[in-house]
Amino acid sequence: MGGIAILARQMGFTVTGSDANVYPPMSTQLQEQGIELHKGFDPAPLDPAPDLVVIGNAMSRGNASVEYVLARGLPYISGPQFLSDHILKGRWVLAVAGTHGKTTTSSMVAWILEYAKLTPGFLIGGIPANFGISARLGDAPFFVVEADEYDTAFFDKRSKFVHYKPSTLVLNNLEFDHADIFEDLDAIKKQFHHLVRIVPGNGLIIAPVDDPNLVDVLSMGCWTPLEQFDTAGVEQPEEKLWNARVIKEDGSAFSVYWGDDHVGDVNWSLLGMHNVHNALAAVAAARHAGVIAHEAVAALNEFKNVKRRMEVRGVVNGITVYDDFAHHPTAINLTLDGLRNRVGSGKIIAILEPRSNTMRMGVHATTLAPSLEAADEVLLYGPPDLGWDLSQVVASLGDQAKQFDDVAAIVEYVAAEARPGDHVLVMSNGSFGGIHQKLLEALG
């Protein structure tokens, strides 16, 4: 919604917005764009009546602003529909969908197109460091969008991504998530199938060769050419796959191949094999838009990661503090694996806030502990309204884990225990009470 607000502002509209919790980097970005923010949902900012109200999917009936809009008959629309009606018409849309890696991969695609001087528009659910902004109109024809499977609005229960009508579609991976929206994995597969159905026959779908859930989706019907990338070293000589040969085990250096053809080498600051696979998908997508593959690989050497994706927030007295958005066991495991390969035997203190709706419902209760095993210490924050008991995770991890119900107590513990050379990894999809800055100050 923040990105859509920025696009509307760039189109020349006067834009204001209301939300319960707006925090950096999005709050700062919106203010820099001249967008007035209102904390809370008092309907007063809707008087005098605006020309259009764009309603985000976090809003529901009973919300004071929503009820005001409905009662007074104000014109309203969903964010994805606004994007479709006002921005995407007539453009070549490159969409990135999947459970993990959407923000990073869409940022890579946008940067490759920028590097190739194509000046793409984009809407990304984070702030790519190469651009310093999460959305822009750009020049025709190309527009890159992070395509989320979450529902569109309280009045439109289709997944957001069906509004985008992509010509180039990346399907990164597929797992069960968003348990507050989807009953089971099959329900998510059906939405992905709906997305596949609208990609034209002269478009391109890019997907891993070895993701069983995406294999199921594509088996429901696919009318579009398919290029695949290899995420597990699968030997399939009869097929031409995008694949990588690792130069450094932490994923910071690798060679890109299209079948047996060496396209180029990447040396960058990102960690983890998941980002190597994101890179393969991004190169394939950009190539479909006309960027020569070796130029796409060259662009990735200058790619800077998205804020809050293994972002180093600071180094104090030899202790490094990271901020990462991971909030699903698979993402947590991949993040820790990449960091472990980078730091070797260095001590990793992992701090997790189970904040996503799915995590708070306890859907990942049995898979959370195994995803954290690569850390030397695990500090779990238990918010008062968590819907399940974190003690079962603590018990599974044994002496490796501790539970806290107060951010200040976590900061105090880390300040007392961390030593030079340690790595403190904070994982949350929220602001986590400003814990990152508090840690840096306490460690100092």
- CATH classification of the domain holding 15: 3.40.50.720
Q: Range of 58's domain?
A: 2-74
Residue 418 located in a structural domain: yes
Can you give the pLDDT at residue 181?
Answer: 81
End-to-end Cα separation, the chain, in angstroms: 36
Residue 117 located in a structural domain: yes
| Contact (CB, 8 A) for 267 and 252 | yes
Do residue 120 and residue 254 come from a single domain? yes
Boundary residue ending a domain (266, 300, 334): 300
CATH code for the domain of 213: 3.40.1190.10
Do residue 153 and residue 203 come from a single domain? yes
Do residue 67 and residue 145 come from a single domain? no
Collect all residues with Cβ–Cβ distance below 8 Å to 18 and sequence separation of at least 6: 37, 38, 39, 40, 41, 42, 45, 65
| Contact (CB, 8 A) for 17 and 30 | yes
CATH code for the domain of 361: 3.90.190.20
Can you give the pLDDT at residue 236?
Answer: 53
Kindly give the parts of the chain with pLDDT less than 50: 234
Residue 369 located in a structural domain: yes
Boundary residue ending a domain (19, 42, 74): 74
**Torsion angle (degrees, nearest 10) of CA 246, 247, 252, 255:** -60
What stretch of H or E contains 329? helix 329-343
Residue 353 located in a structural domain: yes
Do residue 414 and residue 279 come from a single domain? no
Tokens 């606004």 belong to residue: 82
| Contact (CB, 8 A) for 402 and 379 | yes
Can you give the pLDDT at residue 306?
Answer: 81
Residue 403 DSSP label: E
Residue 306 located in a structural domain: no
Residue 137 located in a structural domain: yes
Boundary residue ending a domain (52, 74, 96): 74
Specify the number of domains making up the chain: 3
